[in-house]
A and B are shown apart, each in its own frame.
Chain A
Amino acid sequence: MRKSTLILGLLGVVILAFRSWNPGPATPAHFPKPVYDFARNPLRSETVQLGRALFYDPLLSVNNGISCASCHSQYNGFAHADHALSHGIFDSIGTRNAPALMNLAWQKSFMWDGAVNHLDVQALAPITHPKEMGETLNGVIKKLNASVIYPSLFYNAFGDSAITGQRVLLALSQFQLTLISANAKYDSVKAGKAVFTPQQQRGYALFKTHCNTCHREPMFTTGAFSSNGLPVDTTLNDYGRGAITHRSADSLLFKIPTLRNIEFTYPYMHDGRFTRLSQVLNHYTSGIVPHKNLPAELQKPISLSPEEKVDLTAFLLTLTDKKFLYNPAYSYPKEIFSRGRRNPASLSSQ
């Protein structure tokens, strides 16, 4: 028994030794348990800050021209407003729309087709994609080692200045895990601190009838793969999940996106084909093209009167979380980069 107290005590000392040790962010009361295993990558403010610097640094791309934030901008809920299809180095155009990034700790799989099974390894895809950042992880590590600011940022984050692929990825995860959106009007209503207007209330009822099976509260997605009957864009021929699993039952299925901050995460859908919510609602009432994997809920067209569409839209706008969209903790880290020279990419001493 004595021994166990000693071990506990020792553990306590070790834990205290890690300043600002915190296994995970505070979970909003009405959210389920996070999927991400914070015990394996406990959040520390120094590591979060390192991840934030990496997220905003074009050094991660082969021509030092594109950062994660180039395609995932905070004011768009970390989606990409101006481009239906992603826009990478040397003006290359990808094949998919950059999704919004938020509440990633609650997500089971990543990318529109779930090709990525863990947040930590997601960043490998954009870093190495020839049409996104076109770099290699080793190329990034070399540049980070040569930079003025990173060795000390890694030292602060991990206790020594060794820069490894694992550490780059864990730090990027840490920053992205802090991107929690749980302060929309919807959340205040759930917490009993606000009430919906009658119009929002009617919209909420419509939402629960027609949309909630897939875009399930409070995350506004079940995280599953599904189809909402978009006709295939024959210039892209994107079959989504099917190309990953090689199963015909998965053909044309895409990950159900969250609807949080939907007012700002346009354009919509995996190929960014819609720019306005009105187009999305028109799709659900009159644009669905049946195929063999279309879920039962959408086999019969959804009928919504023009007034109901306005009500439903009013509800969707209650998912806007201004605190999230303007949270200074998520923004370009001037204070970190100003420790070096002005442009983060030029920090590298080459």
Chain B
Amino acid sequence: MKTFYLLLLCICCRVAVTAHTVQVNFTPVFGSQILKPGQTHYHTSTADSIRIEVCRFYISHIKFMHDKNVVFDAAAQVYLIDMADTVSQQLQFTLPDGVNWNAISFCLGTDSATNVSGALGGSLDPANGMYWAWQSGYINFKLEGSSPRCTARKHEFQFHLGGYASPFATLQQIRLDCVQSSNINVVCDTAKFFDYTDVKTTAAIMSPGARAVELSVAAAGLFAVKP
């Protein structure tokens, strides 16, 4: 009987603290255009046309912040954002009412604990194609496409950025200030990626190392809140 009351109490508590949903959208874009597979985009600074075929990345450790304080921690979940799957881009969180926040913080990539935990499921299932086979570890950020400027085979470039072990850890912490709202739009502007690296000189990064770290820092700079 005691347990019954306990249960009842729990249910009451849940109802008493009202909550609301905040949706955070992660949208891969190229400048002002939303990324779609097979579309050609124009990159102004290199006067180059670029097709993006694949843009996928992991977002983890999402936190809602007020100035320097974490006010809501949605840590457990790791999200795989895919340009080809709009549902994957819409993340929903249930926040208790009355929480004030003015920034979100998140990581681009998977943390080192995730990388040494064996076979995981859901967004982290190796069948999602974001896991390296020959050397253990997740690909945190994947960008593939083609450009006439690229001298590699079929003008194709492939950036698979990842690596969890020091000194080549690629996980990036990102903080974006924003105005509290039930709908936050974060863009990942892939056009900026090509300001950091020239596909003419580097067409592929496929393993952990110093270059992967540099470009991961660059990838973190692609994220911004769109008002």
Contact = CB atoms under 8 A, between A and B. Distances in A.
Contacts of B119: 41, 118, 120-121, 165-166, 169-170, 173
A186 B42 CA distance: 70
Contact of A165 (B6, B115, B116, B126): B126
A95 to B, nearest CB: 11
Nearest to B132: A124
B227 interface: no
Contacts of A237: none
Interface stretch (B21-29, B91-99, B133-141, B187-195): B133-141
A37 B117 CA distance: 9
Contact of B118 (A119, A128, A167): A119
B135 A244 contact: yes
Given A6-B3, A118-B118, A165-B119, A124 B135 contact: no
A33 to B, nearest CB: 17
Chain A, interface size category, equals 20 to 34
Contact of B131 (A3, A124, A167): A124
B14 interface: no
User: For A2, A6, A41, A117, which residue has the most chain B Cβ atoms within 10 angstroms?
Assistant: A117
A118 B116 contact: yes
A281 interface: no
A117 B133 contact: no
Interface in A105-119: 115-119
Nearest to A40: B118
Contacts of A245: 165
A141 B137 CA distance: 21
Given A124-B131, A137-B127, A166 B120 contact: yes
B118 A121 contact: yes
A283 interface: no
B131 A164 contact: no
A211 interface: no
A141 B134 contact: no
Given A2-B3, A3-B6, A117 B127 contact: no
A3 B136 contact: no
Contacts of B128: 165
A61 to B, nearest CB: 14
A305 interface: no
User: For B3, B6, B118, B135, which residue has the most chain A Cβ atoms within 10 angstroms?
Assistant: B118
Contacts of B136: 115-118, 121
Contacts of A37: 118
Contacts of B68: none
Nearest to B134: A125
Given A2-B3, A3-B3, A40-B117, A166 B125 contact: yes
A292 interface: no
23 contacts: A3-B2, A41-B118, A41-B119, A115-B134, A115-B136, A116-B136, A117-B116, A117-B136, A118-B119, A118-B136, A120-B118, A120-B119, A121-B119, A121-B131, A125-B133, A128-B134, A129-B134, A141-B127, A166-B119, A166-B121, A170-B119, A173-B118, A244-B135
